Amino acid sequence: MHRASWRFRGSFIGLAAFFNHRSGRVLSYALGLVLAATLVHAVTPVKPVQAAPPEKPACPTDRPDRASAVLAARWCGGKVEVSGER
């Protein structure tokens, strides 16, 4: 077989029946484009996303027992009155 005819057989001889010259060229261009896009995405630095500061919840004025008042005060960072001990 002549050396120039190997160029038309393709590197995968089993797939030569499914792909003609034009579809192989289109497939190779598409693969190159996907590879370039992947490399550009991998090389570009990604800016870290800053989380929004958490909003401070409004404190309830009172709670019926001491345990729920302590938890509510810790949760909102303020003072909560125990209404059951008045």
16-72 per-position pLDDT tens digit = 556 666 777 888 888 899 999 888 877 777 788 888 887 877 888 899 999 999 999
The answer to whether the CB of 21 falls within 8 A of the CB of 5 is no
The number of distinct structural domains making up the chain is 2
d(C-alpha 37, C-alpha 7), whole Å: 28
- 11 shares its domain with 36: yes
Find the domain containing 12 and state its range: 3-43
- 59 shares its domain with 38: no
Confirm whether pTM is higher than 0.85.
no
- 36 shares its domain with 9: yes
